[in-house]
Structure 1
Amino acid sequence: MPDWEKRFRAPRVSLPDWAEDAPDRALFVSNATGTYELYAWDRATGAQRQVTDRPNGTTDGVLSPDGQWIWWFSDTDGDEFGVWMRQPFVPGDEAEAGADAGAGAGRDRQAGDETGRKTSQETDRASGGGPDEPATPGLAPSYPAGLALGRDGTAVVGRSTDEDGSTVHVVRPGAAPEEIYRHRESAGVGDLSYDGTLIAIEHTEHGDAMHSAIRVVRLDGAPVAELDDTKGGTQELGLSVMGFAPVAGDTRLLVGHQRRGRWEPMVWDPLTGVETALAIDLPGDVGADWVPDGTALLVEHSYQARSELWRYDLASGELTRLDTPTGTISGATARPDGTVEFLWSSAAEPPQVRSTSGRVVLDPPGPRAPGSVPVTDVWVEGPGGRVHALVHPPAGEGPFPTVFDIHGGPTWHDSDAFAAGPAAWVDHGFAVVRVNYRGSTGYGRAWTDALKHRVGLIELEDIAAVREWAVDSGLADPERLVLAGGSWGGYLTLLGLGTQPEAWAVGLAAVPVADYVTAYHDEMEALKAMDRTLLGGTPEEVPERFEASSPLTYVDAVRAPVYISAGVNDPRCPIRQIDNYVERLARRGAPHEVYRYDAGHGSLVVEERIKQLRLEIEFAQRHLRPRQER
């Protein structure tokens, strides 16, 4: 088996999440069976068991504070539209927790069977745990928009549908769900206070889906306080809920804000209105979470595609760096014993769940993934400022065939983290360049917010600047340049092939936006709100902007062979708009291939991921002339 396939097949585990009041009970995601599923872990005994077993995988799960229930989201074949289910952590927990949810479970279970969802009996046999049951009887299927679980069994459920917009429901044990919030714009549940009396809701009622405000309400929906940085200034600023203090009687809320041009935390008490700024003077974006006793914060600092951990003492203001290796930390949690556990990797080293105690916390079964090459940092002057790119060089001397692997989002960024995809291209002799174009996170608010109204075209200007550097530096062969990406990266791939047709030899687009107008009308409601923010309105209100930013507008200019892969159940980049684009390619006989698979926005099945990358590599190799032939 080649190393590139081993990297995909090697078992991986996520950072374990643990129950607040039962820290020995944990939940994590693993691909140990070949499909990403949820696993329960009793840390006291070391026992592990698989919780879910579905053909297209499961990754969304939450533990109740007492550790007795595992909540998981059940959609249909990756369409992200479904209901919350729950399962006892161990058999017998459901009896201890009471039969409050059982009264309505039968009706919902039957409805689930009729829609093709796996029955509780089937999941029970697969997992070895207690039976699954609908967690929120009475709530119809929807897109998830946040979930918070209380200590008394109360759940706060965020939902989104095309018909209702955004809603928030309180589900008390034995009672029908109560709707406490509704709005057409996107909103979601941020957190529930320790004592279960306050709910923090992130909302965009002002119409800018990129910058949320925060409203704190009581369980009946009565407003308590509002924090809104989108008003009163020359620019709209965003807020995010980081969590209520994990201490009884403490109503402080940790909030992320952008008041100084980057993400950083502050503490806000919605009952008193007191805001406490924090002296965390680190470059780049700063995130945080509470330590279990509420006296300090675990700070995650992201800067120039790498990250590190710090501890901030709230009483003294002392900031102390924790000892972590150079690379990327993809999540961290402070444990009650004072240690910190974190998921770490670098481009050269596969991920591990480590602890500040020096040990590996959770080691997946089976062989470890082979390593890859370290990345090189490149800074290139672009039309909007310096652009940061990460370069994965293959062995030998250039110029090399080069893949520009464009990240999705767009509010995301590539980092010095282990990724099987780029490593596979390097193994096949390609250089890989990943560009953190304008719109990427981690480089300040102005960089992230730069996309409005010229969506897609702005990002491609930055990619073009890095492409010019790659060719001039001797890294990249100008006649063997591959533009590739998934989701928003797939969108930029198709748009780039049409607006820069002479620059690219091959295009590889996975789950892309291809026809922006049709995509808008078919996609999930939350993404409609984001598109209205990015483009300044609907396709009917600003048709010229949608036209300028749509790959379909430029499809007749495409010269490079195009490979497209698409999930037939994708709610984010729906299949109809991709079919429209492919039909236009076919009409003029343009070289292209399309691979459709039975899943949503990507696949959680390891063999499917390997198959898709193998097809992309083979397509590129067929259409790129070897260097000696020219």
Structure 2
Amino acid sequence: MTDPAGRNPEPRPGGAPGRDPGTAPAWEQRFLAPRVSLPQWALHAPARSLFVSNATGTFELYAWDRATGAQRQATSRPNGTAHGTLSPDGEWIWWFADTDGDEFGVWQRQPFGGGPDEPAVPGLPPGYPAGLALGRDGTAVVGRMTEEEGTTIHVARPGAEPVEIYRHRQSGGVGDLSQDGLLLAIEHTEHGDAMHSAIRVTRLDGSPVAELDDTKGGTEELGLAVLGFAPVEGDSRLLIGHQRRGRWEPAVWDPLTGEETDLGLELPGDVGARWFPDGSGLLIDHSHHARDELWRYAFEGRRLSRVTTPPGTIGGATARPDGSTEYLWSSAAEPPRVLSTSGRTVLDPPGLKAPPSLPVADVWVEGPGGKVHALVQRPAEGEGPFPTVFDIHGGPTWHDSDAFAAGPAAWLDHGFAVVRVNYRGSTGYGREWTDALRHRVGLIELEDIAAVRAHLVDTGLADPARLVLTGGSWGGYLTLLGIGTQPESWTVGVAAVPVADYVTAYHDEMEALKAMDRTLLGGTPEEVPERWAASSPLTYVDRVRVPVYISAGVNDPRCPIRQIDNYVARLAERGVEHEVYRFDAGHGSLVVEERIKQVAQEIRFARRHLGLD
């Protein structure tokens, strides 16, 4: 399942022009080595694909004609391009154009074979993206969010002005469009709980067809997710994700008949799915204890069969029309590869290959809310106790996994042990674990992190006098909250694009995050001020006694710059040693050299204050 809170920086592939990457140290090569995403393909033109690569040193979109083998760079912007898709007929590339990472903008499009960009939906004002669905006949359904309007959904038919068919103050967005273009699935949170969506199916004039809402009629609110309509003309079946058995798993719902099909998948952990291209079955992705598996499910005979993949993390998978499955795989030790069950490598970028890193070990620690899972990496040389980095993931509804990550590998190369904790609020451990993150926001996660810290100090891995608390986005927030609420536990704090002053962040952030924060804390800052104060790093800034490094994107709509400036001003007033780096982008950088610069500064800051340089 995707991260609904949205405070988790996306993985940034590497690549860089202008210097010989082969002379760089191994940790930099992991960023510099060209990488590619899992290619998506056009449903009715499967030879046409779109993928993301860092080959030029910036995250951009690339078109790939599989029939000829031709590839071309489709976008080129100073701060990169992250989001794009293909029209079902493969004729158009759609991509989202924001301003230097602020995530506020409009959809553009260009011909698959190349040509000038043009507004994809002329007349539709800018907004934050809230889903997109494209029909084979050229119809587009576009979701957007703004502070003034909340969520709006618009239908744009070829040659006509876009028509608004949905509006609500709460967060929501476009789920999917049926293959015949008659039915639209919408995820919404009109009930006010941004962590648990309901599903409404409408006609394209906005008239309702059916509603599926698991937040009603019970003592617990359960979420739903749109996974997609059947990819067959005239087939009204909708694949959904639900939490009715305490975890995410798929089911099939026909909004025209009301019939639901429970797949009865007895797989522990969270389970997702996507359709086979002919609608005869599903490709199942199974996430459990920070690792992934793939399965194939056939409706005929309800047959479930395992797809053989290496142990590790699958960053996406797709079933191809020829019966093969393509997937993006990596482990903590092995760089990512785009593989196929046919036995071949789907895409192999030319040039430098990323050096491997070190495997993770699983550690389970008894915490105040149950057993906490942590992934631990030890340096290649030396005996503990080591200087140790607690690298805290963002989200918060996300999780660290046995996946290749250049950032943690860089700390390892500099002699640090690296610990990543899947605290309460993380996904992949069941709904109860994720939903525990309520009202005592931030403090709950830090209790779990503290339990893992105590265990690793007691067992001799982590040196209690040389502990770095770090993270990006929500992980940066927990870093600043941790060095304030647990001042004796940490030696250095390194926070990237963090929430620092929670109340000011709320007033400045994008609308979807305002809804999420109201859900997490049970109201606005004016309605429950004591909860907001208890969860804000600014409340505890006077207790901070360790050196602090903060990086911030000046155009960040998720963790805006003003609230970070407020926190930094208080550090300065108290004379706390700190360093602040502001970069000209949004919630993280898509430029490889910029990312290398930031990691180098973070490690240099930590090593200097730990007496390692």
Structure 1, residues 55-98: CA drift from partner, whole Å, max 9, x if none? 000010010000000000000000000000000001xxxxxxxx
How far residue 625 of structure 1 moved from its aligned partner, in angstroms, is 2.7
CA distance in 2, matches of 1:626, 1:147: 50
Distance 1:166 1:454 in 2: 28
**Per-residue CA shift, 1:459-499, capped at 9, x if unaligned?**
00000000001101100000000000000000000000000
Task: Identify unmatched segments of 5+ residues in structure 1.
Answer: 91-128
| Correspondent of 2:501 among 497, 511, 515 | 515
1:61-80 paired onto structure 2 within 5 Å = 61-80=84-103
Q: Which among 555, 563, 586 is matched to residue 600 of structure 1?
A: 586
**Distance in 2 of aligned mates of 1:438 and 1:452:** 10
Counterpart of 2:300 in 1: which secondary structure?
coil
Secondary structure of 1:326 counterpart: coil
TM-score with structure 2 setting the length: 0.96
Deviation at 1:622, TM superposition (A): 0.7
In the alignment, structure 1 residue 42 sits paired with structure 2 residue 65? yes
Distance across 2 between alignment mates of 1:377 and 1:434:
10
What does residue 12 of structure 2 align with? none
User: Which residue of structure 2 aligns with residue 266 of structure 1?
Assistant: 251
Instruction: For residues 83-138 of structure 1, give each alpha carbon's deviation from its aligned partner in whole angstroms, at most 9, with x where no partner exists.
Output: 00000001xxxxxxxxxxxxxxxxxxxxxxxxxxxxxxxxxxxxxx2110000001
The whole-number CA distance in structure 2 between the counterparts of 1:315 and 1:438 is: 39
Q: Does 1:376 align with 2:399?
A: no
Q: Distance in 2 between matches of 1:493 and 1:400?
A: 20
Report the equivalent of 2:539: 553
* 1:290 aligns to 2:275 (yes or no): yes
State the Cα distance separating 1:626 from its structure 2 match: 4.5
Q: Would the aligned equivalents of 1:251 and 1:271 in 2 still touch at CA under 8 Å?
A: yes
Q: 2:285 & 2:487 partners in 1: Cα distance?
A: 41
> Which residue of the partner structure matches residue 294 of structure 2?
309
Structure 2 counterpart of 1:19, from 25, 42, 57: 42
**Amino acid corresponding to residue 36 of structure 1 in structure 2:** F
Secondary structure of the 2:541 match is: helix
Do the aligned residues in 2 keep the contact of 1:426 with 1:432 (CA within 8 Å)?
yes
Superposed, 1:141-540 pairs within 5 Å as 141-394=126-379, 395-540=381-526
1:316 is paired with a residue of what secondary structure? helix
CA distance in 2 between partners of 1:506 and 1:316 (Å): 57
Amino acid at match of 2:72: R
Q: What is the aligned residue count?
A: 589
**Secondary structure of residue in 1 paired with 2:302:** coil
CA distance in 1, matches of 2:352, 2:473: 30
**Secondary structure of the residue that 1:173 maps to in structure 2?**
coil
**Superposition deviation, residue 296 in structure 1:** 0.6
Instruction: Give the Cα separation in 2 of the matches to 1:299 and 1:223.
Output: 30
Mapped to 1, the partners of 2:229 and 2:391 lie a distance apart of 38
User: 8 Å contact 1:279–1:317 — kept in the other structure?
Assistant: no
Give the residue type in structure 2 aligned to 1:591: E
In 2, distance between residues paired with 1:16 and 1:438? 33
2:608 is aligned to 622
Counterparts of 1:390 and 1:572 in 2: how far apart (Å)?
Answer: 27
Aligned to 2:17: none
When the two chains are superposed, the root-mean-square deviation of aligned CA atoms in Å is 0.6
| 8 Å CA contact retained: 1:480, 1:625 | no
Amino acid of the structure 1 residue aligned with 2:188: H
- Structure 2 partner of 1:612: 598
- Structure 1: how far apart are the matches of 2:246 and 2:301? 25
Q: Identity across aligned pairs (percent)?
A: 81
3-state SS in 2 of match to 1:489 = helix
Gaps of at least 5 residues in structure 2 are: 1-23
Give per-residue Cα distances to partners, 1:584-616, cap 9 Å, x unaligned.
000011000000000000000000000000000
- The Cα shift of 1:354 comes to 0.0
Query: What is the letter of the counterpart of residue 500 of structure 1?
Result: Q
Q: Distance in 1 between matches of 2:429 and 2:574?
A: 42
Q: Distance in 2 between matches of 1:20 and 1:318?
A: 25
- State the SS of the aligned residue for 1:451: coil
Q: In structure 2, how many angstroms separate the alpha carbons of the residues matched to 1:202 and 1:365?
A: 40
Structure with more relative contact order (C-alpha pairs < 8 Å, separation 6 or more): 2
Normalised by the size of structure 1, how large is the TM-score?
0.93
